[in-house]
Amino acid sequence: MSEDKTGNRAASFAAIPSLPVGKIFASAEIQHGDVDFIKVDEMLTLRRMIVRAPAPKGTVLFLHGFPETMMVWKDIASTLARDYDVHAFDWPGYGQSSRPILQRFSYAPQDYAAVLKSYIETAGIDHSNLVIYATDIAALPVLLLALDEPAIARRIIVGDFAPFDRPQYMWENLQNLKAEPTASPTRAYMNKTSDEILQNVHRRGLSPAEQFDLPTDVQRDMVHSWSFGGMTSADAFAHYYANFTRDQNVLEANLDRLKTPVKLVWGEQDFYINKEMGIEFAARIDVEIDILPGIGHFPHLQNAKHTVEEIRTSFG
């Protein structure tokens, strides 16, 4: 179903001396699956995981948001791997994937779209039986890729992101990242308060009864991976936002080219991107949106069962 062209499924972590021991340990804690590194072009190497089904009915590719790593998908992947091959990778700038200098890679949504295309091709994934689930910063790159590659997947599930330039639907700090003079001080503040971000990013907007803790190994991987290769995840996030408005406008101007089946999932209590953004986007492309009561910006972390059901439904 998804023959890997790299021959790198059983990569030895000892062969990658640039990774600290703590990070290697954190990245290896996925049961019943492979964690390795895959080179997608001359500049970029991605850390990824694959959990394989005995007799796969299809392939699922999960794409994380800020400040996550691929580890957020490990439990969902283990559940789905009864029936599907499951892939996930760290975006450049996150986890233990490459973090090129800005002069070589812009971290823009369009650049991430190219990374996604390269990953699917290099991993040998069958487009015709692929479902992509993308949240937060991952969603716009998937949709941009779909404009040019409508057969990239049988279905795309996206949510809790900003497809259009609608600052009024965004948390103020996110608005501030979109342009100077507020972008640079906001980026500096995020780097200064990284501990607080990593502890509370998934709690904001939720009542005490709705708040939840991340699994210890997931939290540890995010903390260990925040700063790596001379760049923080906040730096990568800020670079993404520097090109965000441009790429949002590209999507909005080309909605008539979006032919890949799309499903929207949104947390009703999303603190960062108001559900009204999702409602507008769903209306513009005439698709269904599931607004999840009591759920914040990270539905896959807060209600993993729904994510699993959404994937199964997508395969029919």
Tell me whether residue 3 is in a domain.
no
pLDDT at residue 275 is higher than 60 = yes
pLDDT for the residue 47: 98
Is the predicted pLDDT of residue 71 greater than 70, yes or no? yes
pLDDT in tens, 6-23: 433 333 222 223 333 233
User: What tens digit of pLDDT does each residue of 134-177 get?
Assistant: 999 999 999 999 999 999 999 999 999 999 999 999 999 999 99
Mean pLDDT taken over the chain: 91
| Within-domain flag for 4 | no
User: What does the pLDDT average to over 55-77?
Assistant: 98
Q: What is the pLDDT of residue 32?
A: 58
The answer to whether residue 1 sits within a structural domain is no
CA pair distance 201, 96, nearest whole angstrom? 20
- Domain of residue 183, residue span: 13-314
Instruction: Give me the number of domains the chain comprises.
Output: 1
Compute the distance between CA of residue 272 and CA of residue 160 in angstroms, rounded to an integer. 8
CA distances from 155 to 44, 92, 300 (A): 26, 24, 17
Sequence-distant (6+) residues with CB within 8 A of 234 are 67, 187, 190, 191, 194, 197, 226
Side-chain half-sphere exposure of 252, counting CA atoms within 13 A:
15
- CATH at 310: 3.40.50.1820
82 vs 11, 72, 77, 215, CA distance in Å? 23, 18, 9, 22
Residue 285 included in any domain = yes
Decide if 51 is inside a domain: yes
Residue 190 lies in a domain: yes
Q: Is position 56 within any domain?
A: yes
Within a domain: 74: yes
